[in-house]
């Protein structure tokens, strides 16, 4: 590492220390641990798991109890309340996703002169949450509210690829139950490739001449909340039409932007 790089890193670390909030971090550590615990924990158990002393967490636990984030089960045990759940539903994730997605999708459609749509998984199928048509009025698009298949579509495979192994397995089973004819013994290696490259790009098996490019919108755990997709349709009367690699780069950038806006993770390996 060069001297200049060392200085830059040193400044970043110094700024992080200046703006650190140890008490807040301690409280969040307690909340996250209680959320993951299957049962109530004593202050001693909380302190041990966090690598802190009971004295360090005593006041923080008391504050969380006073604010109703944590409940005291008995004289020495504590558990998480439903307050975090209630707060999360004041502004549901899908509402936030849609709010942030529309401007991003409108810019993308304008840049590419292609339609785009946003889908989420639901019981063996995909639901189209939102769509933006090509500004020129010519192109392929799907209707908001439509139900799409999972296993044979680029967006569906993207949703499957970026989940925990247990969730992926369950969703594949649900999708096959809905469409038994679409069962594919090769789906696992296909999903492995999607995970590796960060997106799916393939000719449509449903509409002749259509090419689908789809990227995941990721949450804080790196799992796909939704898939952002461009159904690429070629215009034979336009020589300056954006190419598929150009569409892939623009769509990847839009997916990263949307993931960041909703506080999710970003796969830096995606095309820029």
Domain ranges of the chain: 3-87, 93-261
> Which one, of 193, 213, 194, lies nearest residue 203 by Cα?
213
Residue 29, both tokens? 């550590």
Q: CA–CA separation, 127 vs 147, rounded Å?
A: 5
Tell me the pLDDT tens digit for each residue of 89-142.
565 667 888 899 999 999 999 999 999 999 999 889 999 999 999 888 776 778
Average pLDDT of the residues of the chain: 85
Coil, strand or helix at 203: strand
Tell me the pLDDT tens digit for each residue of 219-252.
988 999 999 999 987 766 666 678 899 999 999 9
Work out the average pLDDT over 8-25.
63
pLDDT tier at 11 (50, 70, 90 boundaries)? low
Q: CA–CA separation, 228 vs 147, rounded Å?
A: 15
Greater pLDDT, 93 or 184 = 184
Assess whether pLDDT exceeds 70 at residue 8. Answer: no
Greater pLDDT, 12 or 22 = 22
- Given this model, what pLDDT does residue 78 score? 92
> Which one, of 156, 158, 264, 163, lies nearest residue 215 by Cα?
158
Q: CA–CA separation, 66 vs 89, rounded Å?
A: 21
- Given this model, what pLDDT does residue 180 score? 93
The alpha helices in the chain, defined as continuous H runs, are 3-18, 22-36, 43-50, 54-66, 83-88, 93-112, 154-161, 165-178, 187-197, 244-261
Greater pLDDT, 270 or 178 = 178
Strands of the sheet with 147-148, listed across from one edge = 147-148, 125-132, 116-122, 224-233, 210-218, 200-203
Greater pLDDT, 212 or 12 = 212
Q: Which CATH class is domain 3-87?
A: mainly alpha
CA distances from 151 to 161, 214, 246 (A): 11, 14, 26
Domain 93-261 belongs to what architecture?
A: 2-Layer Sandwich (3.30)
CB under 8 Å, gap of 24 or more: what pairs does 160-167 form?
160/121, 160/187, 160/191, 161/191, 161/194, 161/195, 161/200, 161/216, 161/224, 162/194, 162/195, 162/216, 162/218, 162/222, 162/223, 162/224, 163/223, 163/224, 164/223, 167/223
Assess whether pLDDT exceeds 90 at residue 213. Answer: yes
- Given this model, what pLDDT does residue 7 score? 46
pTM: 0.68
Assess whether pLDDT exceeds 50 at residue 5. Answer: no
Tell me the pLDDT tens digit for each residue of 29-82.
999 999 888 889 999 999 999 999 988 888 999 999 999 999 988 888 999 988
């Amino acid at each position: 590492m060069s001297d200049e790089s060392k200085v830059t890193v040193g400044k970043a670390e110094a700024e992080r220390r200046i703006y650190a909030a140890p008490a807040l971090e301690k409280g969040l550590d307690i909340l996250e641990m209680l959320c993951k615990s299957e049962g109530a924990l004593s202050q001693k158990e909380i302190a041990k798991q966090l690598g802190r002393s009971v004295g360090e967490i005593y006041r923080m636990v008391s504050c969380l109890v006073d604010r109703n984030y944590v409940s005291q089960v008995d004289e020495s045990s504590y558990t998480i309340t439903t307050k975090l759940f209630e707060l999360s539903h004041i502004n549901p994730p899908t509402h936030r996703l849609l709010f942030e997605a529309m401007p991003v999708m409108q810019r993308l459609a304008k840049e590419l002169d292609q339609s785009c749509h946003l889908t989420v998984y639901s019981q063996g199928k995909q639901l189209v949450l939102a769509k933006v048509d090509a500004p020129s009025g010519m192109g392929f698009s799907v209707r908001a509210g439509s139900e799409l298949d999972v296993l044979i579509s680029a967006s569906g495979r993207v949703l499957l690829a970026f989940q925990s192994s247990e969730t992926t397995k369950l969703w594949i089973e649900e999708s096959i139950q809905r469409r038994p004819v679409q069962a594919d013994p090769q789906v696992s290696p296909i999903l492995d490739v999607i995970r590796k490259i960060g997106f799916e790009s393939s000719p449509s098996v449903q509409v002749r001449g259509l090419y689908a490019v789809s990227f995941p919108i990721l949450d804080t755990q790196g799992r796909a909340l939704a898939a952002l997709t461009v159904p690429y349709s070629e215009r034979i009367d336009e020589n300056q039409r954006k190419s598929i690699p150009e569409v892939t780069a623009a769509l990847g950038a839009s997916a990263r932007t949307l993931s960041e806006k909703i506080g999710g993770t970003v796969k830096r390996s995606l095309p820029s």
